[in-house]
Amino acid sequence: MSDLKQIAPATFLLPQEGSMKVPGLVIATDELLREIEIDRPLEQVRNVAFLPGIVGYSIAMPDIHWGYGFPIGGVAAMDAEQGVISPGGVGYDINCGVRLAVLPRPFSSFDERKRDELLRAIFERTPSGVGQEHKNQALTDTDYRNLLEKGARWSIEQGYGFAEDLEHMESLGCIEGASLDAISRTARDRGRRQLGSIGSGNHFVEIGEIQKIYLPEIGEAWKLFEGQTYVLIHSGSRGFGHQICQDTLDLFMKKGFAENLPDKQLVAAPIRSPEGEAYFQAMSAAANFAFNNRQQILAGVRDAFHAVAGIAPRDVRLIYDVCHNIAKFEEHEVGGKMRKLCVHRKGATRAFGPKAKELSPVYRKTGQPVLVPGDMGRASHLMVGQGNPLTWCSACHGAGRARSRIKSMDAWRGKDPIAHMRSQGVQVMASSKKTVSEEMPDAYKDVDAVVAATQQAQLAKMVARLKPSLVVKG
């Protein structure tokens, strides 16, 4: 930490040394740096700077914590022709991401009985927990080919949502270049019955109210109001994406791509190699699986609101869906010239500003919504991207863990975490109390501090604070 030099508000430089090809850049405040167990994540920031073809900086967001190879909260851009692509820079849960929807009614309009019914109805419609699946549907290889080609549009064509949903998703809910031929039979089999399911760990469906709007002009443009009911969904590509990552890591290790790297978990193939291209095809497939997964989870939530409260599914309006574990080809300015880069965001969210051509017309005037889940007790945030080139138009993706899952479980051993959350005004329904113990609010950093640092660094602006009340966990 003593190596860090502040160069701008909430922005610190980690000097280039040894065989690092670029310096490190850490987005944080002094307060956050004191709270984070920073040494291991900073070592990972340094290690990422060794990767061939990296440009700009090896970047850490204010929610940084230790991960596989790359830190979680890490961003790195590689030259599209000379650089490498790293599965550790994407993560095991490919296109783990978040989507936010809102209702036309205030949350206060649901009495306690309706809230109980809603929570149970959502829990029944969205399988959650380790290995949980939909028992009544299974993807064929033809289904796989169609959903990998079409992205979330495939689920909409199957009746899970509406065409206008696509304009409210990153990349319109589809990453181009996916190929089923790049996917192992094992990965296909693991994912066959998992569309529309949450999974375990930090994944959830959350219902609550918009507690505070900070930018009224953005709130008006996005048709938000204080007290409004919101739905926040956090899930990814389930066993399908996990297997793709593992298959690729095994192959890359076998090919010797980890040689000369400071950490073999960074193993990476040249982007333009057959192995690199095959991983991008497989990763894109997992990303499109995840878009479909969140689309079908939202369909289940819409159905629950309709069954319990008579709210039309179309009135549960999607605001946005963002990836936060992905590598994408984008054009950015480097040294005064536009270059095609492969931007790895692992535990980081794209945050394009106004007029960005990558955005759908719905958001070109305001900039992109940035979704920042916190914890199930305190708050989450909605921000708007500023398109800061320093971080390749990237921002934080959540609060970030302050305590490991094992330490959190130890802290809550012998206690009833669900009863504690109820005493705090939050109803939690889960398939496992163990998961709830791992995910208690004190396991996470203060999301208010994280988004404040993100705003100070001019990566994104705070739009609204969201207060959870009903939570479905794995």
**Cα–Cα nearest to 136, from 125, 144, 147, 145:** 125
Instruction: Give 419's contacts (C-beta < 8 A, 6+ positions apart).
Output: none
Identify the DSSP state of 332. E
Report whether 401 contacts 65 (CB < 8 A): yes
State how far the alpha carbon of 169 is from the alpha carbons of 143, 152, 294, 320, in Å: 21, 9, 11, 5
Chain Cα centroid distance, residue 14? 25
Q: Give the closest residue to 449 by CA, choosing from 30, 17, 23, 8.
A: 30
Q: Name every residue whose Cβ is closer than 8 Å to that of residue 276 and which is 6 or more positions away in sequence.
A: 84, 85, 269, 270
Beta strands in 15-171 (DSSP E): 24-27, 54-65, 72-79, 84-85, 97-106
**332: β partners:** 339
Alpha-carbon distance of 358 to 338, in angstroms, equals: 15
- In terms of Cα–Cα distance, which of 238, 277, 245 is closest to 139? 238
> Cα(first)–Cα(last) distance of the chain, in Å?
36
Alpha-carbon span 319 to 374, nearest angstrom: 18
Residue bearing tokens 């990476």: 268
Rounded distance between C-alpha atoms, residue 99 and residue 234, angstroms: 7
Q: Which two tokens stand for residue 188?
A: 């296909």
Annotated catalytic residue within 234, 306, 397, 420: 397
Chain centre to alpha carbon of residue 107: 25
What is the C-alpha separation between 22 and 14, in angstroms, rounded?
9
Residue with tokens 């914890």: 375
Alpha carbons 322 and 325: distance in angstroms, whole number = 9
φ, ψ at 105 (rounded to 5°): -110, 150
Q: Is 134 marked active-site? A: no
Distances (CA, A) of 222 to 102, 216, 318, 353: 10, 10, 10, 15
- Cβ neighbours, 10 Å, residue 172: 17
* β-pair partners for 464: 213, 382
Which tokens hold the place of 436? 């709830």
Question: Which letter does DSSP use for residue 363 in this model?
Answer: G
Residue numbers annotated as active site:
397
